Structure 1
Amino acid sequence: MTGFKLNLKKIILFASGSGSNAEKICKYFEKKKNVSLELLVCNNPNAKVLKKTNKYFINSMIIDYESFYNSSAVLEKILNINPSLIVLAGFLWKIPEKLIKAFPEKIINIHPALLPKFGGKGMYGINIHNAVIEKKETKSGITIHYVNKNYDEGEVIFQKTIDIKKNETPEELSSRILKLEHNFFPRIINQVLESGK
């Protein structure tokens, strides 16, 4: 039993919205005995993610702007857990530099486009897919990357590309991209955990 405890991988998940990615991640890791879903951090007390993932997490924490950016409360809570990985699954706030410095190459994010294109402030949700279609791109996809102090500029871990169909709407593209996210994000998280980077 001691060996099991020593090898336990702890995940903290940050989310803001509906929680479809968060739920897929939880279901993927639910039966993995060496992974513990320690904490869900959410900046929206009405977010659907809280109900969808409630049974999977040991704890959840609702944060406000003040506690996240201007106090050390969130950082201290995370330091006490000492996670193997912090996963951003639809979390819309920028991660403070103090958290990035405390956990270098331990925070990962998924972005519904092929970075470095269509990244940065304001590039989330349907905004991205509108921009991709407007620019007449022929390909889109997902990027899983480490988080640094700039939006969507961290080292790329994984990308998956799809062809954009003729006359495809942003909504149709969004739906196909979301399926990619659900399919690959949990598996890539697992690979990162197993690599021990």
Structure 2
Amino acid sequence: MEKLIGRNLNISVFISGRGSNLLSLIKYSKIKKSKIKINLIITNNKFSKGLEFAKKNKIKNYIINYSKKKEAEHKILEYLRKNKIDLICLAGFMKILSSSFIKKFKNPILNIHPSLLPRYKGLNTHRRAIENKDKFSGATVHFVTPKLDSGKIILQKKVRILKSDTEKTLAKKVLKIEHKLYPSAIEKILKKSSF
């Protein structure tokens, strides 16, 4: 991967839902010390609220029909190449990328997951943490590999689970820390990496 000389890191954010992590990354990209530029937003959901943030901030965005996964991924790879994307950030993207896509992209792909991995891979993380009477939950930013939620951990942050917490209140607490964690994880890999 070429070194970042006098330019920002071009990022594509993949979303499916409300896009709150996308919004926190957009805000982070606008601060002075930030070395990132969000060039492209990909979604599989035309009703994703995150598209409003894309339009508001004049960021190129594409809605991808995932009914034929192979074709969808081929199209996404084309968009990534055209827009010279250095890094993908998955932010509540509800589709699993194929190992072929991950290999073809070649650059890092990050994901943010609402649990303290390796605990609770997959879905319903808050419910599982509460049912198991865990004292802590949290969020993890990790590299994406073909194995679900199993890539190398970049950064984690904990939140305490109170006895009064429900799935909803815990989700709210975890989301709040996600918004700070994702930009911090990007900063961390920028310091270590030879982008």
TM beyond 0.5: yes
Which residue of 1 is the match for residue 60 of structure 2?
Answer: 59
Q: Is the 8 A contact 2:40 2:61 kept in 1?
A: yes
Task: For 2:86, give the aligned amino acid.
Answer: S
What's the secondary structure of 1:70's corresponding residue?
Answer: helix
Give the counterpart of 1:88 among 59, 84, 90.
Answer: 90
Q: How far is the alpha carbon of 1:6 from its aligned partner?
A: 4.8
Amino acid at match of 1:109: N
1:40 is paired with a residue of what secondary structure? strand
2:25 matched to 1:25?
Answer: yes
Q: Is the 1:67–1:73 contact (alpha carbons within 8 Å) kept by the matching residues of 2? A: no
Answering whether residue 75 of structure 2 is matched by residue 78 of structure 1, we say: no
Number of residue pairs matched? 189
User: In the alignment, what sits opposite 1:46?
Assistant: 47
Instruction: Write the deviation string for residues 113-158 of structure 1: whole angstroms up to 9, x where unpaired.
Output: 01111103xx1xxx21111101111111111000011211111111
Q: Which residue of 2 aligns with 1:8?
A: 8
Q: Give the deviation of 1:8 after TM superposition.
A: 2.7
Q: CA–CA distance in 2 between the matches of 1:104 and 1:154?
A: 15
Name the % identity: 35
Aligned to 2:120: 118
Whole-angstrom distance in 2 between the partners of 1:118 and 1:131: 7
CA contact (8 A) 2:114 2:175 kept: yes
The amino acid that maps onto 1:129 is H
Residues 1:139 and 2:131 aligned together: no
- Cα RMSD between the aligned structures? 2.1
Distance 2:145 2:171 in 1: 25
Q: How far apart are the structure 2 equivalents of 1:190 and 1:58?
A: 21
CA contact (8 A) 1:108 1:146 kept: yes
Opposite residue 96 of structure 2, the aligned amino acid is K
* Residues in 2 aligned to 1:42 and 1:154: alpha-carbon distance in whole angstroms: 22
Residue 55 of structure 1 and its aligned partner are, at CA, apart by: 3.0
Structure 1 residues 172 and 66, CA gap change in structure 2 (3 angstroms): closer
Shift of 1:105: 5.6
TM-score, scaled relative to structure 2: 0.87
Aligned counterpart for 1:174 among listed residues 161, 171, 176: 171
1:156-187 residue CA offsets vs partner (Å, 9 max, x unmatched): 11111222112321111111111110122122
TM-score normalized with structure 1 length: 0.87
**Residue in 1 that maps onto 2:190:** 193
